[in-house]
Each structure stands twice: as C-alpha cells, then as structure tokens.
Chains A and B, each alone.
Chain A
C-alpha cells in the first residue's frame, strides 16, 4: 500500500459541431485542433510510456458528443483534409522562413506534428481514436467515464427529472455502445452537482463522480478528511473531491505552470501576424483571420515583445514542473496523512483540452509526471475505480449544490446573457415527455420522428453555448446552437400534433444531427 494516492482525471469534451451541409465549417476546427493538439499527443504519450514499461493510471471522461464526433466518418474525412491543409501550410512556412535559425526549425516542428498526427490517425488508428482509447481502457491503464449526453449543466434542470434522466441514460447507452462496458464513473459537466443527482446516477448503476472542494466541504455532514478522501451519499454513490491546491497549480491562467515564460504562447498565431494576402494563398478557408495553430513565440511575460519559442527549453521546463507538482503533492499528503487513518487521496480533475491545445507542453508534462511518479513510487497513481476497490468504505455525506464555474454555483450558466434558454428548454422537455406518453409504442416513421425530437431536445441542453454567451464571444453563433434544436423540436411537435410529416426535412435533419443512433425517445416518459 502506498502512503498517498494521486488520481488525475481528464474531461475530454467537445460540443456537437458537425455540419456536413457546408463544404467547410469553421467551428469543426475546434474539434480538429483538439484531435491534433490534445487527443493524439496524449495517445503518443501513452504509447511512449507503454513502450518503456512505465505504469501509468488515468481516469478519462469522454463526453458522448465527443465520442459521437470521433466515430463519425464524415468528420474523419474532413480531419484528413484539415491535416493536409496544415501540412501544406507547414511547407509554405518552411519555404518562407528558410535560413532563419530561430523560426525555420519551428515551422519544421509543426510539419513533424501534423505528419505524426496524420500517420497516427490514418495509419496507426485507422481513423478510430475511440478504439485507441479503448485499448488502454481494456488494459487497465485508462479508466473511461462518461458524462451528460450533451454536456448539460444538470443543477439547472433538477426540477425536470426527465431532463436529467434523459441526459444520463443516453450517455450510458452511448458509452456502452462505444466501449462495450458499463461506465462506473460519471463526469458531471462543470462539476455541476446538486443533492438529488446521486439518486439519479445510482439508479443507472453509476458508482462514482467528482465534486468540487467547496461543494463537498459545504456538505452535510462536513467531510472529516477534507478533500483527502471521498464521501459516500446515502444512495451509495461515491463523490470524489477535487484537490483545490493541486488543480490551481496547473489551472491558473496567471500563476499556474502554463504561464511560465518559456512555454509556447497561445495567442500569437501567424493567422493574425502575417499579411492577409499570404494567408489567403495557404489557408483552407481564407475568408477571415483565424487561429492557424502555427505559433512561434514563447509566453515571455506581459509584453508584446515576445521571444522566439524554444521547444527544448520548454520540454525541460515541463519535466521540472512535473517534479515540482509531485513534490508539492507529497508535502500536502504528508501533512494530511498524519491526521488520517488511511492514505490521503488527491484528485486532480482538468479539462483534457487544457493539455496540448492551450498548454502546448501539457502532454509532455503529463508524461514526465507519470515517469517521475513511477520512478519515485510515491504518491501512487490510481484511477478512481481502482481507489474504490482498495478503499470501498467512505464517510457518509451529501455534498452541497456546486460547480467549478466562477462563483462556485450556477452563475456562469444562468445570467442575463443566457437565462432565456431555460424557458424554451424546459418547455421542450415537458412537451417531449408529453409526446412520449402519447406515443409509447410507435414504430417506423413516427418512431424516427420521435427519436429525432429527443435528439433535438438533448442538443438544446448543451451548457457550452450558455458559457459562450456569457463570455460574449461568438454569442450569436452560440445562440443559434440553442435556437436551432428548439425550433426543430417545435416543428416536429407541430407535425405530430397535426399528423403531417415532411419526410424530406426529417431525413435531412437526421443526417445532420446524427448523434446517438440508439436513442430511444421513450426515456422521456415520466418516471412514476
């Protein structure tokens, strides 16, 4: 037995941004960038650890919308087109920077990155990243969790039971379809917890989730071990508690590791630095200035006078930061262990896309952390499921309503910029339940219509759009992502009420919003 345990938990998520009706759709780049900069680099780190026989353990939530997009053939083809465009841009950049000792190697670095991505995605994984993750899942290295079907922030729907259960049920069915196993863990989007969600999750045989430090500490009764041990709700669901100190070291935009001057700067991108004419000749979609992914400068400091990026120095710094992170955790665990009757557990949940997309050196940090932890032996790295098997008993407590959003509750997803959403979504859920009650045994075309109606209701519950509205960025796009599924649902509702169906329109909609092929609209029937 180790004297302390560390559980890294990553939440991999992208909202559903598939738009096959357009030749190119800019928001699909979010997904492609995440594949290129986060998911494939993480898999390369796993491979490297495996080949060196370094044991590593990680808990990874793959959101159902991300899983749907990762298994989509159209998006797979489009990702290949994206990679080819990135490789062409890399070649152009190498030509442009020929002879520049500081920058030509950086253009070469991007050529190598996108070449590796192409080779891995196409050659190694056969365009199937989910299977690659499943390999480590079955091997016991990575424990996969699921999350709400469309990343709904559940506390806002706590009085709409069918809204919550449909999110949970759809997610679990999608996870089983993708990975062939029932998920033991459930990632609550934005760590959005409320008393009562435990019973819902347990009713679907979910064993554990993660909550914020504050939510757990405000729980009843107060956890005796602070965040160093999970708590168990009366329903039997175990709530692991985020380690606030550990997450801040990585998460903080201003004082966390990613702010180090030697790391690659996220903002300085040739998409904004180079002349429009040059970009127009090389970008796939030259309509407007965008992040291209080609960034040549280091963070340097709070100045526009940036230093050229030095990959070797950045990699070395990532290893040093991993060592610092582990030293801090050992110190924290030692202080806690003296006060506990079991080894302290430190749970560090992060958004996966932090590693690689924003913090370019993030995957290197993680790999170094796994290597150093394995070498030192302490703290022991564990998954949440493995920890539960070793320590099945936990203090009984019910955490308080909480989230990891600003303010700690629902402020981000419920303010003047986005509160209009909930009237419409709640009404759609209510009407969907009404339809499921009225048509409990449909088949054929009517069943197709009802299933599509259920998909549209789920899509409208996505919390990412509320976040973007609150941020004031791309707010009209975000607004449209809510209005569209609500309007689509409304049209289906009217069709069913008037008994007229536009099959052409329905087929087009099914082809576009094609996630959750196994959806069953009857999950919206009122729970009795």
Chain B
C-alpha cells in the first residue's frame, strides 16, 4: 500500500518528500533508490514512535492478563464481516494530535459513474483548508493545500502545517479540460488541531505563576509553536501510519 503511494508520485515529488522527511539525497538517483530511502525513514519513524511509547499503555494492558486469540462458535453477530464502505459520498476528519489528522471518505458508485462519464474527471484530491483559530466565527478559507488521492483510496493521515487552528477537508474531483476547475464532492466536519505551546496569555503571567507551571511539570511545554511543519508530508493509512505495529 505504502509503496503503491510512493510509486504514484513523480520523481520530483519523491525528492520533495525525501527533503521533507529529513533525507539529504544526492541528485540524479534512480527512482527505486529514492523510494527505498523514503520507506526506510518512514519505517524508522514508525519504530521510534513505538519504542517511545510511554509506560502508561503497558500498565493498562496488564489489566488484561490471560489474553488469548481463539476461534469462537457462531453466536449473535459472530462470523459477520463488515463492509469496507457504505457506498455514499462523504468525508469525515478526526484530529489526532497537533501534527496529524485522520480523514476517511467514500464516493458513491453512482457519483463515480457520473464523474467518469459526463464530468470528464481527471482525478480526486483532498483540499485541506485552514479556516481560522478555534472560537473564531469567520470560517472563510485562508490557506489551503491539496493532496492527490487515488480512486480506490478511502483514508489518509494528513500532516497539518500548524497546530491550534481550525480546518476542514474537501473531497474534490478535478475536471479535465475545464481550465483546472474542480468539483467539491463532500465537505468534512470542522476539525481543530490542538495547541502544542502555551496560550498567548501565558506571556503575561507573573514569575510566580511560571514557577507554579514548572512545579506542575509543564516546563517542557514551549511558549511558542515550533517552526511550521511541512504541509505536504502525507502518510497513507495502514502500514505506514505513525505508531502502527503489525499484530
């Protein structure tokens, strides 16, 4: 799945992705080598996240000692498998942490047929649009970036450029031969990426309060957000999602 995603990118896009993942690749590398390097970094990232898992989770697991994996007799609900989709045109987004959101979507078969037929669609993409800070009423689109997706994609993790903002995701179909025009198939719910630095009001706290924050164990929380991340770093779901570990 992950290799498929990388294979769909041009060499130029692969170099851009490598750059964003911190790789310093020499120019002129053959495509398979670029893909391999990126895969390796993503795999290390995933392993690092797993290694870095805190202890609370491990302790929580101990509640469930005596685990087993076994087969069960048929009973209510047993043996049923879930459909992978519901054949509807929709998109939903969930904020995961300051850097990542998860989005899943679907396009109804009838809509796909329409796109293929009358509309002359040239591909689907997600438009991630920032619509202001939390609590602000104005939801006009400010900044956005697009992520091309394949027809059979149903979900992605999306790296967010900024924390502490509201955004939404449009599921769009590009129309070929229409001067770059596109059609919005579905619009997600509004999502807020959580802040990862102290609120602006913290700057006016007195020294005593800063000391109390430090005593509370908050000294590692920055006063300002780190430099903006890369809005184009994307990871497909499944094997490459952060923190994922095979069963």
| Residues in A lying within 8 Å of B, measured CB to CB | 14, 21-22, 26-27, 29-30, 33-34, 155-156, 159, 195, 213-214, 217-222, 224-228, 241, 243-245, 251-254, 266, 288, 290-291, 332, 335-336, 339-340, 351, 353-354, 357-358, 400-402, 404-412, 414-417, 419, 422-424, 426-427, 464, 467-477, 480, 483-488, 490-491, 505, 508-509, 512-513
Smallest distance from the beta carbon of B216 to chain A beta carbons, Å? 3
In the complex, A490 Cα to B77 Cα: how many Å?
9
> How many residues on B have C-beta within 8 angstroms of the other chain's C-beta atoms?
77
Which residues from B are CB-within-8-Å of A509? 76-77
Known A477-B69, A487-B77; judge A419-B237 contact (CB<8 A): yes
B194 touches A227 (CB 8 A): no
| Segment of B14-22, B59-67, B138-146 in the binding face | B59-67
The chain A residue sitting closest to B79, CB to CB, is A487
The chain B residue sitting closest to A467, CB to CB, is B60
B241 touches A415 (CB 8 A): yes
The chain B residue sitting closest to A475, CB to CB, is B247
A214 touches B247 (CB 8 A): no
In the complex, A353 Cα to B56 Cα: how many Å?
13
A414 touches B55 (CB 8 A): no
A222 touches B66 (CB 8 A): no
B221 interfacial by beta-carbon distance below 8 Å: yes
Smallest distance from the beta carbon of B159 to chain A beta carbons, Å? 14
B218 touches A214 (CB 8 A): yes
Instruction: List 7 additional A-B contacts (Cβ < 8 Å) besides A225-B212, A251-B55, A357-B65.
Output: A195-B192, A266-B62, A354-B59, A415-B241, A417-B244, A464-B64, A477-B69
| Segment of B5-13, B177-185, B197-205 in the binding face | B197-205
A218 touches B199 (CB 8 A): yes
The chain B residue sitting closest to A156, CB to CB, is B94
Which residues from B are CB-within-8-Å of A245? 217
Which residues from A are CB-within-8-Å of B214? 226
In the complex, A407 Cα to B102 Cα: how many Å?
16
In the complex, A6 Cα to B80 Cα: how many Å?
49
Which 7 pairs, one residue from A and one from B, show the smallest C-beta to C-beta distance? A416-B244, A226-B216, A487-B80, A416-B241, A244-B217, A226-B212, A474-B67
In the complex, A405 Cα to B96 Cα: how many Å?
12
In the complex, A112 Cα to B78 Cα: how many Å?
40
Our pick among B58, B190, B199, B241 for the contact of A419 (Cβ within 8 Å) is B241
Our pick among B72, B96, B201 for the contact of A410 (Cβ within 8 Å) is B96
B3 interfacial by beta-carbon distance below 8 Å: no
In the complex, A30 Cα to B126 Cα: how many Å?
44
In the complex, A243 Cα to B218 Cα: how many Å?
10
Which residues from B are CB-within-8-Å of A407? 97, 243
B221 touches A217 (CB 8 A): yes
Known A400-B194, A411-B243, A484-B77; judge A406-B56 contact (CB<8 A): yes
B245 touches A470 (CB 8 A): yes
Known A416-B244, A483-B82; judge A218-B94 contact (CB<8 A): no
B98 touches A219 (CB 8 A): no
Within 8 A of A (CB), among B62-94: 62-70, 72-73, 75-78, 80-82, 85-86, 92, 94
B194 touches A401 (CB 8 A): yes
Smallest distance from the beta carbon of A264 to chain B beta carbons, Å? 13
The chain B residue sitting closest to A245, CB to CB, is B217
B77 touches A476 (CB 8 A): no
Known A33-B65, A332-B215, A484-B76; judge A405-B57 contact (CB<8 A): yes
Which residues from B are CB-within-8-Å of A419? 102, 104, 155, 237, 241
Known A33-B66, A222-B201; judge A416-B238 contact (CB<8 A): yes
A406 touches B86 (CB 8 A): no
B65 touches A291 (CB 8 A): yes
B60 touches A351 (CB 8 A): yes
Which residues from A are CB-within-8-Å of B243? 406-407, 411, 415-416, 470
B120 interfacial by beta-carbon distance below 8 Å: no
In the complex, A246 Cα to B240 Cα: how many Å?
36
Our pick among A410, A467, A469 for the contact of B94 (Cβ within 8 Å) is A410
B216 touches A217 (CB 8 A): yes
Give me 29 A-to-B residue pairs in the complex whose CB atoms sit less than 8 angstroms apart, sorted by A's number: A27-B66, A155-B95, A159-B92, A213-B216, A213-B217, A214-B221, A218-B221, A222-B198, A224-B212, A226-B215, A227-B217, A353-B62, A354-B59, A357-B62, A400-B194, A405-B56, A410-B97, A422-B94, A423-B104, A474-B64, A474-B67, A476-B69, A476-B247, A477-B67, A477-B69, A483-B77, A488-B77, A508-B75, A509-B76
B213 interfacial by beta-carbon distance below 8 Å: yes
Which residues from B are CB-within-8-Å of A414? 94, 96, 102
The chain B residue sitting closest to A335, CB to CB, is B215
B226 interfacial by beta-carbon distance below 8 Å: no
The chain B residue sitting closest to A513, CB to CB, is B76
In the complex, A469 Cα to B67 Cα: how many Å?
12
B229 interfacial by beta-carbon distance below 8 Å: no
Smallest distance from the beta carbon of A309 to chain B beta carbons, Å? 17
B242 interfacial by beta-carbon distance below 8 Å: yes
Known A222-B202, A351-B60; judge A427-B195 contact (CB<8 A): no
B230 interfacial by beta-carbon distance below 8 Å: no
A488 touches B76 (CB 8 A): yes
Which residues from B are CB-within-8-Å of A487? 77, 80-82
B189 interfacial by beta-carbon distance below 8 Å: yes
In the complex, A297 Cα to B70 Cα: how many Å?
30
Known A351-B60, A415-B243; judge A243-B95 contact (CB<8 A): no
In the complex, A340 Cα to B212 Cα: how many Å?
9
A339 touches B218 (CB 8 A): no
B212 touches A486 (CB 8 A): no
In the complex, A409 Cα to B99 Cα: how many Å?
11
Smallest distance from the beta carbon of B16 to chain A beta carbons, Å? 24
A30 touches B65 (CB 8 A): yes
In the complex, A47 Cα to B184 Cα: how many Å?
65
Our pick among A155, A252, A336, A357 for the contact of B212 (Cβ within 8 Å) is A336
In the complex, A195 Cα to B194 Cα: how many Å?
10
In the complex, A290 Cα to B66 Cα: how many Å?
5
Which residues from A are CB-within-8-Å of B239? 416
B54 interfacial by beta-carbon distance below 8 Å: yes
Taken residue by residue from 126 to 143, chain B's Cβ proximity to chain A (1 for < 8 Å, 0 otherwise) reads as: 000000001000000000
The chain A residue sitting closest to B55, CB to CB, is A253
Which residues from A are CB-within-8-Å of B69? 474-477
